[in-house]
Amino acid sequence: MSQANIEVVRALAEHWNAGVRSVPTEYLDPGVELETPFSSVSGPPYRGYAGIEQWQREIDEQFSEWQSRHDDVREVGNTVIVIGSVHARGRASGIEFDLPYALVADFGGDHRIMRVRIHTDVNAALKAVGLRE
């Protein structure tokens, strides 16, 4: 199995954790869709590069710190699942927290992400990609 899709996910995490907020178009399909439990204000999913930019702005408005950690990364066909956690600090409150999460990224044939689903329920994410019943 090719590691190319896993490397894309790792590169995106490094991009984000380094504080870079430009849209990494080399890793994302122009029609990318992002579904996240944190999008309840605007309604999921975020679509395209403009949607990713909007999501990044909303995260940065709410949190002064937001770092992801990947504990387990697996490839299932054209999908990569990441199990990890997010460490964040509220911008207004200063409260820090760690949140377990799973990220499911569906890839096109050109190794660019077409769809991302962020889950706060890791078991549901594993079930979604066929790794749990």
pLDDT the model gives residue 83: 97
pLDDT the model gives residue 42: 53
Q: So where are the chain's domains?
A: 4-128
Residue 84 tokens read as 């990890």
Domain at 4-128: CATH architecture: Roll (3.10)
pLDDT the model gives residue 132: 80
Which residues, 6+ apart, have CB-to-CB distance to 91 below 8 Å? 61, 62, 63, 64
pLDDT the model gives residue 37: 83
pLDDT the model gives residue 40: 54
Instruction: State which residues of the chain have pLDDT below 70.
Output: 1-2, 38-44, 133
pLDDT the model gives residue 14: 94
Q: What b-and-e string marks burial along 51-65, b requiring 16 or more CB atoms within 10 Å of the CB?
A: bbebbbebbeeebee
